[in-house]
Structure 1
Amino acid sequence: MTNNFFKSALLRWLLPALLALLLSACAGAGSNRLIAEGKIGVTVSAVSHYGKGIGIGDFYINGQWGGVLYDGWGGGGSTVCCVSLPHTTSTPTMVIVKWKTYRTAVTEERWHEATVPVHFAVPPGDGYGLVVHFLPGHRVEIWYAGEGTGSPDYPGPAYPRGPAPDYVPLPDEKPEPGKGK
């Protein structure tokens, strides 16, 4: 009986404490020793504006994994924690985004990289999290706003709606089968 009581107490007290400690990894700068002084950890989500027939295998922001978008139109990946940003911004905050696109119809995978500014619509710490927008032509925009992409007040690119357009390959990419070039 004593052994079962000990196991029960362990599960009831130790595991929740351990879980709370692990979840604190994405807490604000004051309580998170994993984030450098003067920085905050923010969540990351992504939206693809490419069109149909292309996906994003993986993407990274400043070397931190950001997720996967299986579809080239809309959201798809999960929200990931955390990317480190300055707690205050007086100069542009630049980040390096690296992502892999794939098109199964033409068996093509490519890595892309861009250094882009973070567009702050609200001060760091007051927002919804970072949203990475993958745009046609392998361009990227990153927004940190007080609202999510579904809000009419979201300042970044509008969330893709309606049927996805065909992906339009750039001149150095393989054409889709049957579409000729």
Structure 2
Amino acid sequence: MAYVIFIVGIFSVFCGSSRTEQTPDLLVIGGETYFLKSFPLDDLHLRTNFEENDFNSGCWRNYQATWHVRNDSLFLVKITGCSGSDEISMPSFFASRTPKLSLNNDSELFAGWYNAVLVHYRIEVTDPKMADRFLWDIDWRTLEADEKIVLTFRNGVLADDQR
């Protein structure tokens, strides 16, 4: 019996039935805010040098990043805790991680490493007008017939905007 429970548990993990929807990053472009379901900072594989204890199953990263597109360039401008209320000092955030990154004026980070093709993320929301505000990167799969490319970034620069 224990073997059957073990197999069912493994199956449910790999099939995604127990995954919690993650808190999106925010992407502000042209005065409009989008919910980014792929996370640019993850591409850096940052390692932390301290133990973060603010665990939230809907926010494994322990932060939410806010990104702005200015002059066709992507910048990280703010990091908050998962609750969204506590702003995290960006110099402190990056000082405790490797690789070390340089902030512009200790206040923003140009995302020169970021390459992504963003499409609408399929999610059920209570307000249908919000459904097209969720974007994610199609990095590991092919574009499906009903998906439309929305934004394309190359080395942190907005290469294509189909909004």
Query: What is the TM-score normalised by the length of structure 1?
Result: 0.27
TM-score (norm 2): 0.29
Question: Based on CA coordinates, which of the two structures has the bigger radius of gyration?
Answer: 1
